[in-house]
Amino acid sequence: MDNKLPFEGPLSEQRRKIDHLKKVGVEQNIDFSEEIARLEEAYKKLEDEIYSNLSGAQIMHLARVHSRPTTLDYINEIFEDFIELHGDRLYGDDLAIVGGIAKLNGVAVTVVGHQRGKDTKDNIQRFFGSPHPEGFRKALRFMQQANKFGRPIITFIDTKGAYPGDSAEARGQSEAIARNLKEMALLRVPVICVVIGEGGSGGALALGVGNRVLMLENSIYSVISPNGAASILWKDASKADQAAEAMKITAKDLLEFGIIEEIVPEPKGGAHLDPVRTAEAVKTAIWRHLEELSGMTPEALVEDRYRKFRSVGKFAAPELV
């Protein structure tokens, strides 16, 4: 249980103190209950202090916790009757992307997302959740199928980025991402995207052109991984924490920029501490947005999505005379 992050150290320390006192109390038959209650109180206070004031870098570390729930975890918790589908019909079946059809509160939907591995072996076959072109094309195939049958689309974003490999380049990594951006803009069904972990670069955005984009409280979304930014900007990948701060990659930041519509709360300490409760919160948010969107015509959905992305950007323009 104690694979805590460095900034969570004081909590572990406090927990150790409490456990120790409990143990001594039992061993020596002394009643420490008042003392323990006081320490528990302090623990709660410390917890509030730490988790209500997380820095961008600390959130980045939480987003990368290995045991954080993955796309398949959310699919299994949130949907019923999931039928996993495979392949892009062009080249192969990229396991860095999973998806298929399922029911959400009885409504048929298409669900697709990046899939990290659960262990080393799984990670190797899933390329650590970094898709090749066939992964993006697989996702697009699912989405266009949803479009044909009028099913809403739910995407889960969780990737460090598109896979940087020679065969990925040869098969058109750029084209695959670009095509998804273009084709997602034309989808005539509701599209809801949820960033559940790390949303890295074009590989994340290729599943991210939605009418609504939501982020889990401790997820991040950025143009390049903070490690990559640090090594390019400061020639020092170890300055990733600094880059994470400078790039403003948290859900709070993105809500302020108007890039996302909602922050989905996580249990104190992160989604991995209570995946079921987190999934419940995600499900509630998805359903609420889906209900809002379900009254819109296909044309209105396309226009709504277009307006959302058309308006992004900050620049100086001279006053029109």
Partner 1 sequence: MFKDLFQKKKYATVPSVSQAPAASERPKREIPEGLMNRCPKCGNIQFSKEWEKNLKVCSTCGHHSRLNALERIAMTLDDGRFFEIDADLTSEDPLEFPGYKAKLEQQKASSGLKDAVVTGEGEIGGVPVVVGVMSFDFFSGSMGSVVGEKVTRAIELAAAKKLPLLLFSTSGGARMQESILSLMQMAKTSAALAKFQEEGGLFISVFTDPTLGGVSASFASLGDYILAEPGAIVGFAGRIVIEQTIRQKLPDNFQTAEFNLKHGQLDKVVHRKDMKAFLTKLLEMHVGGGASDGQ
Q: With respect to partner 1, which residue has the nearer C-beta, 78 or 189?
A: 189
d(CA 217, CA 37): 30
> CB of residue 66 vs partner 1: minimum separation in angstroms?
20
Q: With respect to partner 1, which residue has the nearer C-beta, 104 or 181?
A: 181
d(CA 141, CA 135): 10
Contact status, residue 295 vs residue 225, Cβ threshold 8 Å: no
d(CA 255, CA 299): 26
Contact status, residue 156 vs residue 106, Cβ threshold 8 Å: no
d(CA 267, CA 276): 10
Contact status, residue 22 vs residue 58, Cβ threshold 8 Å: no
Structure tokens at 49: 């202090």
> CB of residue 316 vs partner 1: minimum separation in angstroms?
5
Q: With respect to partner 1, which residue has the nearer C-beta, 148 or 310?
A: 310
d(CA 37, CA 40): 5
Structure tokens at 192: 């809801």
Structure tokens at 10: 């004081």
The residues binding partner 1 (CB under 8 A) are 162-166, 168-175, 177-179, 181-183, 185-186, 201-202, 205, 208-209, 221-224, 228-229, 232-233, 246-249, 253-254, 257, 259, 305-306, 309-310, 312-318
Q: With respect to partner 1, which residue has the nearer C-beta, 6 or 315?
A: 315
Query: Three-class SS of residue 80?
Result: strand
> CB of residue 132 vs partner 1: minimum separation in angstroms?
11
The amino acid occupying position 320 is: L
> CB of residue 184 vs partner 1: minimum separation in angstroms?
8
Q: Check residue 311 and report its DSSP letter.
A: T
> CB of residue 299 vs partner 1: minimum separation in angstroms?
12
Task: For strands 80-84 and 97-104, give the pairing.
Answer: antiparallel
Q: With respect to partner 1, which residue has the nearer C-beta, 274 or 304?
A: 304
Q: With respect to partner 1, which residue has the nearer C-beta, 155 or 173?
A: 173
> CB of residue 110 vs partner 1: minimum separation in angstroms?
20
Contact status, residue 135 vs residue 173, Cβ threshold 8 Å: no
Structure tokens at 50: 């730490």
Q: With respect to partner 1, which residue has the nearer C-beta, 21 or 255?
A: 255
Place of tokens 């052109």: 209
Contact status, residue 128 vs residue 117, Cβ threshold 8 Å: yes
Q: With respect to partner 1, which residue has the nearer C-beta, 210 or 269?
A: 210
- Which residues make beta-bridge pairs with 222? 200
> CB of residue 312 vs partner 1: minimum separation in angstroms?
4
> CB of residue 147 vs partner 1: minimum separation in angstroms?
13
The amino acid occupying position 311 is: S
